[in-house]
Amino acid sequence: MPELIGTFPDSTSRSSVKVIKQRVEGSTFQPHAEDFLAIEDPLEVVLIAKDEKRVSESTLLVTMRTPGQDSELIHGLLYCEGVIQSAEDIVGIELIRKTPDASPVRALVELRPGLAVKGTSKQRSYAMHSSCGTCGTGQLEQLEIPRALQIQDSVKVSAEWIHTLPRQMQNEQDTFRQTGGLHASALFSADGKLQASHEDIGRHNALDKVIGASLIAGSIPSSGQTLCVSGRMSYEILQKALMARIPIIAGVGAPSSLAVTLAEDFGITLIGFLRNDSFNIYSCPERIC
């Protein structure tokens, strides 16, 4: 049985497990040694509505995530799903654990009256995997984004500063340094300060945690801000960033064709392959000086 180790600063949930490995180099078997793996655990998100007559519950989805910052994850997820518009729309979150020292497996989210029913219109048809933020979406129409979300943001940042973003983000990746198995997202203010940085085994979960932290802090919409992500940039990353009104997105990996189309259509500056002192700009280059 793997030994649970490592904790997030603001949570009792563990982010990694210790295992025993045996490394093979060529045909030589090395001695057994310790290794650390990132945790991937399910979290069921249940929406609760209360009125004078009754209490109703509705499971929105089950997401696979790395435990820790579950409140931020839920805030960001529900905001990007269009269930809530502000942190005040969530009355409270109760995290249910099977045992006192285990990670939460269920989140009971009490919403302001009138919001829970609205959220069930986008209910997932099955579990949401850590690799995909739109898995389980029941209808193609749910992927459509209102044209009113077009970003008109005059912020400009320097190319020299863009080069520093991966290093600043990596400095916050404690569990990645231990396991090598987590994605990260980091949000920077218009004046270049790090606003929030979170890790997760799912790239979309890491972004939900960052957006949720910003929502709780009252800094959504994210005018003038820049997002840095550790992996590839596909539709779900662009969609979530657009919901948070983030004008500049930079990633160390490649964008997908749909991500570039979305960025062009909605006025997002999209930067890819940000590494080795170079990067590519795929849309809205006027914000980079």
Residues 6+ apart with CB under 8 A from 159: 279, 288, 289
Question: What's the rounded Cα separation, in Å, for the pair 152 and 112?
Answer: 31
Strands (E), 210-247: 226-229
The tens digit of pLDDT for each residue in 51-105 reads 777 888 899 999 999 999 999 999 999 999 999 999 999 999 999 999 988 899 9
**Cβ(106)–Cβ(43) below 8 Å:** yes
**How many of the other CB atoms lie within 10 Å of CB of 45?**
25
Residue spans of the domains in the chain: they are 3-38, 41-143, 153-287
Among candidate residues 66, 6, 8, the one with its CA nearest the CA of residue 36: 6
- How high is the pLDDT of residue 136? 46
- How high is the pLDDT of residue 218? 93
**Cβ(201)–Cβ(175) below 8 Å:** no
The tens digit of pLDDT for each residue in 29-52 reads 999 999 899 899 999 999 998 877
Give the CATH architecture of domain 153-287: 3-Layer(aba) Sandwich (3.40)
> Is domain 41-143 given the CATH code 3.10.20.10 in the classification?
yes
**Which of 16-20, 128-132, 180-184, 250-254 bottoms out in mean pLDDT, i.e. has the lowest?**
128-132
Q: What is the mean pLDDT of residues 161-186?
A: 92
- How high is the pLDDT of residue 131? 52
The tens digit of pLDDT for each residue in 268-282 reads 999 999 999 999 999
User: What is the strand order of the sheet 41-50 is part of?
Assistant: 55-65, 41-50, 106-111, 90-96
Question: What's the rounded Cα separation, in Å, for the pair 97 and 104?
Answer: 4
What count of Cα atoms within 13 Å lies in the side-chain half-sphere of residue 225? 24
- pTM of the entire structure? 0.85
Catalytic positions, written as ranges: 132
